[in-house]
Chain A
């Protein structure tokens, strides 16, 4: 009987279209994703085979979350069918057994729910035959990978979801309960992710994901490209436990359902009272005084709102969604405002805009769900409850029925936001932050966000009114929502005039509020408001009333309703809408230019194609630049004038000079003895021909002006660096968003190249543009540093004027400051010629100053962000102290940190001046002692650049960043070591290593050794570089490393061309390395070397003198990896630390070091014994994370305490 029930269930669905539609949808999704370069890049899968086993496992695990809703439909229907169709009295009175009914239904529904999952395999198998795919990215079909995906994810996940939803359906017998359970499963998964985001609880996080996705991520976290292409995910470790756990939970859920199920009819509270049936109607004696009929639309409106509001607030779906949303929002707020930067979690102060973003991030999803769900519920309410005929026959105008429902929905959304607003303020108060910006809260949440919700609600109502049923309405709305997001981009349209509710992105900053964005945002909001008014009128005209079985009668009705007053209103709105649109068009496309997304990319590509070949032409070199800069904060304009000395260092005359320009500025160039030969306005490139050629050794002074052209308002702010307060412009290139050309750049600017490989491919550019390989003895090829612009060491000075209440800052010493004609002037001059990079800022700053050994230390900051200023000054002092002692003199009279608005989020180094983003360090909350002091670290890093980059800069070759970024990292680590002690370095090293290991598995090109690192491989030159140099220091000593670095300074500081390559550093280090350790140079810089160290056993035995004998059994393996991550094991012959840590004091993360010793390890398995004064918590190999270790987590092991050694006697 059981199997008959199951088979009935299966047949029922096999015949329905829905199952097959789901299967096809999944297959299409996977097929589309897997054959799309963009999506693969998004998933960081572009470096592996499209059908690599790793990818297949990920699709199965990822799709399990997606199919949740489909499973919910099948299972809920199977569990509730008898109640939905009222067949339970018939069916439940048959001698069918509970076991057969429940198990049969469950098996049937689970089997059916599993079928759409097969779409994953189907999609993968079909995708390679799509005409546009690149066959080289596919490997032979691996059936094992498909089977593993099914066995590890598809089946257990379907079983788990089905069991839980079945249980919910059986116990509560309500659709809404199943709906809520599905949402809970979905959000619960997100919640565990949110709650356990720090590295320590990674294991819990992986276990708590019911779909196994995070367990998969944890297991494969450090997989290399080669491993992702070949290895299968196995039934072991964390993943196995995860699967067993959730299959167990599924079984338990089913058991509960089984025990709670009863054939008996459920008692309902709503049984009809039978008391007064015989009384019936009283005779019509009691007659009302005829109440007056009054036309009061307002009273009707308010009354209806109240009624709908109450109905909505009481509905289970609403209560549950709000509870979940509130829970998540409050957890997120309570989590101290944790914020992700890179991969590192650090705390920030709950500044209002951050709290608002947190509220948005957690709440908006649910508010949109509420809008979608309840727009349908409210539009269809009367018809679903069969109240429509009564209500529709009352003299209630359609607009009122509509307006009352819309107001109810928006009122509900706003009330939820208001509650979140209060929660945000309470959160700020709890954290001791008392700058409550109530106005900002109200504007951002209750105006800016609420307007979006209003627009969405109006659209949703419109769709629901036209839809033949609620579900079609939901589907159409969601389909429209996503199509509207992605379609315009695909059509190369970027104007906000067409994307529904499209408005400029606003980045709030404590510098300028939203001032630069305000006008554009307001106009676009008005435009969409008018559009929505029209949409609302259309909705009213087609508002369902009565029985409308035909479109003809609906149109007939609409025409009847569309009376003269409506016509007038519609005409006025339409006129206003068109007028507003025209005004916006005039501002965004006539006054300003607007490019489609792929137009902008095409220009970049054409620029590269046309002018990169000219890069080899010798160009005059820049000798000095004198800037005259006028900043106009209120009108958001900057005029830059300049005198630039160009000279010819070559032995032959130069006939041309080329410039790359910034298209956002009007540029004029005046060169004595030269005429404009080519002006490519589309690609912003100019060629001037010397009428009298520039002779060898000759210098000329050219003049230029670069003027910003802020006119009207733009579709999206093209230059958010020029603002009312906090203008910050720099011509620093590739690492930084929003670089500006403060002066025309001589020659070709490779920082303008397209970097996204999918985009490059689209425009027919070769995939990566490789820099040349470094040469050991390099002359001509090292003529240029990696800064574009054909310059060497340049003398720069600037006179900057700004608004009288603002301070302008630029690199160099302040040599003059005066007020003139109502403007504030500042004159800066570099203390030492530097690379031709420049920046300046203008804002209403507070300035903190301190003198240290004749150097002026300054921090320019906003008065709202004073917290970390002392840390910054401290870090500057400690850095200067260490670097001057160990590297060489500091060439500037000042060291200053300048805060700039959060439109960009980086810190950078210019000569003596280090701009630092508002969002990066100024609002960091570093009051937790064991967290990494990122502010101190970053400042030390930027200070390090004052030697490495500012003094020694690499030639434009692979490995160039080794000389700047890696050495800045090393420098910072050394300052940290002096500040926090050598034993505490493990937290920094571990942090850097995690970043390196995780990023190398996502490498899209080739992983390179440090010596030949590409300038985009941040994870190598920052993260691996830090660990490698620190290990070098551990092995050959701090003095030896610093001697090598001093040598580098001595030889290359402010010298060149030719500029040094990575060999300069590596060779200097080699000279300091004793012969027996020379392998280190090869291991760390020339090869990719990895260890796999593991502690197999750590035992402690207490001795008579209350000390402990520790016995460690460890395993050591060493590998060399190739560019794709294929590893070859090599013999171990290395010096590796062993050690033991005490249990951390309560509230601390790190325990004291009880033992630390370096061992020479030459074989795979070793055993060590040592004595500690107290019982260690953990002991193991490489406790300080000095070596690059494949799996750093298993280096240390909990120490097991053995009982007294007396037992040894019994063995004998």
Chain B
């Protein structure tokens, strides 16, 4: 049972004129799929559209035989969704809330629901706090709750929007393990602006910027395209603007208090530049600066 999510020519313009999706076409197979893009790139719009929560202006999306934009209920029966931001009802415990969501997802039998909820709570390590009010949870706990609810009902399409926001590095790793395990059989779409997440996890990725797909494919292929074209140099702070003017600076970060620049160049540069092995971050920045 391998499903494929096909997105064709999705476009969406908001009332304020922002083009959130601009003719987006993607094919997403089973496995982990990373949507990479800076804040405001249109990732959340795309994910909400796939989660049946938003109407595009035009285009289509199909999950296997299901028309995502029309057969919403069919999609929802197969869907696990973790929104980027969410809240919960006040004065209600984690256990009750999760049980309610399980009910909404169609687990009608109370006994089954109770077992499932207990299991999910244990799996996300919330079991000890299950009777506490959700509104009092810390960011990490709340995110774990979000993951727990998304996993209920064995979804075939799991959409997680910026799932690692608010998680510490340890939690993030554990979360990815969980996802990776599930991602073997189902479609997992993961949106993030953190490049490493995609590199570590995803077999396929798309880079989105200003509503447009800049790259689609395996992360390794994208990196391979940059082989030999990324150079790095450590400069003094006052030289920074000078370099930015003269070179195509991919990124700049401080190392030991001095800016370390990555520079894109198809041709070799002078000796003061050392070649650097490209990573997905370089791909990302080169793509969004549309130099290739």
Report the bound CA distance from A88 to B89 in whole Å: 25
Docked CA distance A386–B52 (Å): 17
B218 shortest CB reach to chain A, Å? 25
Q: A272-B141, A387-B89 are in contact. Are A546 and B149 (CB under 8 A)?
A: no
Q: How far is the CA of A557 from the CA of B102 in the complex (A)?
A: 25
A276-B128 contact in complex given A284-B177, A395-B73, A550-B15, C-beta closer than 8 Å: yes
Given contacts A288-B115, A396-B104, contact A294 B109 (CB under 8 A): yes
Q: Are A392 and B53 in contact (CB under 8 A)?
A: yes
Answer yes or no: A299 CB below 8 A from chain B CBs. yes
A311 to B134 CA separation, bound complex (whole angstroms): 14
- B105 adjacent to chain A (CB < 8 Å): yes
* Pair A287/B129 contact, Cβ less than 8 Å: no
B202 within 8 A of A: no
Q: A314 at interface (Cβ–Cβ under 8 A)?
A: yes
Q: Knowing A281-B175, A546-B48, A546-B54 touch, does A390 contact B115 (C-beta < 8 A)?
A: no
Asked if residues B106 and A393 are in contact (CB atoms below 8 Å), the reply is no
Tell me, rounded to whole Å, the shortest Cβ–Cβ distance linking B68 to chain A. Answer: 12
1/0 per residue B100-130: CB within 8 Å of A?
1111111111001101100110111100110
How many residues of A sit at the interface, in one of the four size bands?
A: 35 or more
Known: A300-B108, A303-B103, A547-B48. A286 touches B174 (CB 8 A): no
List A527-585 residues whose CB lies under 8 Å from chain B: 545-550, 552-553, 556-557, 560
Q: Is the CB of B107 within 8 A of A293?
A: yes
Are A277 and B76 in contact (CB-based, < 8 A)? no
Question: Do A560 and B101 contact each other (CB < 8 Å), given the known contacts A281-B174, A293-B77, A553-B55?
Answer: no
Q: Does A282 contact B (CB under 8 A)?
A: yes
The docked-state distance in angstroms from the alpha carbon of A307 to that of B99 is 10
Contacting pair A277 B81 (CB below 8 A): no
The 0/1 profile, CB within 8 Å of A marked 1, for residues 133-148 of chain B is 1011110110010100
What residue in chain B is nearest A549 (Cβ atoms)? B15
Please state if A389 and B48 are interface contacts (CB–CB under 8 Å).
yes
Q: Does B38 contact A (CB under 8 A)?
A: no
B162 smallest CB distance to A (angstroms): 13
Chain B positions within 8 Å of A283 at CB level:
174, 177
- Which of B46-73 touch A at CB < 8 Å? 48, 51-55, 70, 72-73
Distance from A405 Cβ to chain B, minimum over Cβ atoms (Å): 13
Q: How far is the CA of A560 from the CA of B91 in the complex (A)?
A: 35
A295 close to B (CB within 8 Å): yes
Do A395 and B105 form a contact, CB below 8 Å, given A272-B141, A387-B89, A390-B83? yes
CB A367 to nearest CB in B, in angstroms, measures 23
- Are A270's CB and B135's CB within 8 A? yes
Given known A393-B79, A550-B15, contact A284–B123 (CB-CB < 8 A):
yes
- Contacting pair B137 A272 (CB below 8 A): yes
> A1211: which B residues are within 8 A, CB to CB?
none
Complex formed: what's the CA distance from A294 to B116 in Å?
Answer: 14
Q: Do A292 and B86 form a contact, CB below 8 Å, given A273-B138, A389-B53? A: no
Of the residues B87, B153, B181, contact of A291 by C-beta under 8 Å: B153
Q: Does A86 contact B (CB under 8 A)?
A: no
B239 at the interface (CB under 8 A from A): no
Q: A277 to chain B: which residues have CB within 8 Å?
A: 138, 140, 168, 171
Task: Collect the chain A residues with CB atoms within 8 Å of residue B256's CB.
Answer: none
Which residues of the partner chain A approach B72 to less than 8 Å between Cβ atoms? 560
Q: Establish whether residues A393 and B76, one from each chain, have CB atoms under 8 Å apart when the complex forms.
A: yes
Give per-residue flags for B222-247: 1 if the beta carbon is below 8 A from chain A beta carbons, else 0: 00000000000000000000000000
By the criterion CB–CB under 8 Å, are A290 and B154 in contact?
Answer: yes
In Å, the complex CA distance between A314 and B91 comes to 8
Do the beta carbons of B86 and A390 come within 8 Å of each other? Answer: yes
Among B14, B55, B90, B141, max chain A CB count under 10 A is at B55
| Distance in Å: Cβ of A479 to nearest Cβ of chain B | 26
Q: Please give, as numbers and ranges, the residues of chain B lying within 8 Å of A304 by CB-CB distance.
A: 100, 103-104
A422, chain B: closest CB distance, angstroms: 27
Contact (A281, B178) CB under 8 Å given A387-B88, A547-B54:
yes
A269 to B103 Cα, complex, angstroms: 29
B200 contacts which chain A residues (CB < 8 A)? none
Q: Is B271 part of the contact surface with A, judged by Cβ < 8 Å? A: no
B132 near A: Cβ within 8 Å? yes
Interchain CA distance A310-B89 in the complex, whole Å: 11
CB distance from A550 to the nearest CB of B (A): 7
Q: Is the CB of A381 within 8 A of B136?
A: no
Q: How far is the CA of A550 from the CA of B170 in the complex (A)?
A: 41
Report the bound CA distance from A307 to B97 in whole Å: 9
Produce 1/0 per residue, A426-466, CB < 8 A to B: 00000000000000000000000000000000000000000
Q: Are B92 and A311 in contact (CB under 8 A)?
A: yes
Known pairs A272-B137, A303-B103, A391-B101; A546 contacts B52 (CB<8 A): yes
Please encode chain A, from 362 to 392, with 1 for each CB lying within 8 Å of some chain B CB and 0 for all others: 0000000000000000000100011101111
Residue of B nearest to A297 (CB): B108
When the two chains form their complex, are residues A291 and B136 in contact, meaning their CB atoms are under 8 A apart? no
Across the interface, A300 reaches (CB within 8 A) one of B89, B104, B123, namely B104
A291 touches B115 (CB 8 A): yes
User: CB within 8 A of B103: which of A271, A299, A560?
Assistant: A299
- Bound-state CA distance A549–B135 (Å) is 28
The verdict on A927 contacting chain B, using a C-beta distance below 8 Å, is no
B-side contacts of A712, CB under 8 Å: none
- Chain A residues positioned under 8 Å from B53 (CB to CB): 389, 392-393, 545-547
Interface residues of B (CB under 8 A from A): 14-15, 48, 51-55, 70, 72-73, 76-77, 79, 81, 83, 85-92, 96, 100-109, 112-113, 115-116, 119-120, 122-125, 128-129, 132-133, 135-138, 140-141, 144, 146, 149, 153-154, 168, 170-171, 174-175, 177-178, 181
Residue contacts A-B, CB under 8 angstroms, 29 given: A272-B137, A273-B136, A276-B129, A281-B125, A281-B171, A281-B177, A283-B174, A284-B177, A284-B181, A291-B112, A293-B106, A293-B153, A299-B108, A303-B104, A304-B103, A314-B91, A385-B88, A385-B89, A389-B83, A390-B149, A391-B101, A394-B105, A395-B77, A395-B104, A395-B105, A395-B106, A397-B73, A547-B54, A560-B72
The 9 A-B residue pairs whose C-beta atoms are closest, nearest first, are A546-B53, A386-B87, A296-B108, A553-B55, A270-B136, A389-B83, A288-B119, A272-B138, A395-B76
Interface residues of A (CB under 8 A from B): 269-274, 276-284, 286-296, 299-300, 303-304, 307, 310-311, 314-315, 381, 385-387, 389-397, 545-550, 552-553, 556-557, 560
